[in-house]
């Protein structure tokens, strides 16, 4: 199984809503990532979890709250988002955060629209 799954595929939420994005992998990878991607732009790194601990936070606003309940799951909790937060949110995983096994497997993304 070389797949990273993300749910939901699409999400529309109001600025006062609370929602969560979910990501799952069963490849035994110990590093997981959240990216944000605007249309026709490269993905922008948001968070990196290594061995279930947050290792990188790229100065992401607190309205985005990541959570790694176990080595296979990664959540992104959303609260009080702004319309400009509308984007494709990508999850990825890799064997580790360094070394040869750093090839990242990406999920298909959750397309988020904030109204």
* 66 binding other proteins? (CB under 8 A): no
Question: What does the block give as tokens for 96?
Answer: 């580790």
Question: In this structure, what are the phi and psi dihedrals at residue 60, rounded to the nearest 5 degrees?
Answer: -85, 140
* Count of Cβ atoms closer than 10 Å to residue 54 Cβ: 12
Question: What does the block give as tokens for 61?
Answer: 């606003």
* 1 binding other proteins? (CB under 8 A): no
Contacting residue, 90, 91, 112, 114, with other proteins by CB under 8 A: 90
* Count of Cβ atoms closer than 10 Å to residue 80 Cβ: 14
Nearer to other proteins, 12 or 15 (CB): 12
Q: How far is the CB of 22 from other proteins (least distance, A)?
A: 16
* 100 binding other proteins? (CB under 8 A): yes
Pairing of strands 44-50, 31-37: antiparallel
Please give the residue ranges that form the binding site for other proteins (CB under 8 A): 2, 9, 33, 35, 37, 40-45, 48, 56, 58, 88, 90, 92, 97-100, 102-106, 108-109, 111
């Amino acid at each position: 199984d070389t797949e990273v799954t993300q749910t939901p595929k699409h999400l529309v939420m109001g600025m006062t809503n609370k929602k969560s994005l979910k990501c799952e992998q069963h490849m035994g990878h110990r590093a997981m990532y959240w990216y944000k991607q605007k249309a026709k732009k490269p993905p922008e790194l948001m968070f990196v979890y290594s061995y279930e601990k947050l290792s990188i936070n790229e100065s992401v606003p607190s309205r985005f709250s990541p959570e790694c309940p176990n080595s296979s799951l990664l959540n992104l909790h959303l609260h009080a988002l702004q319309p400009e937060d509308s984007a494709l949110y990508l999850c990825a995983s890799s064997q580790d955060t360094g070394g040869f096994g750093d090839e990242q497997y990406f999920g298909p993304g959750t397309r988020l629209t904030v109204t």
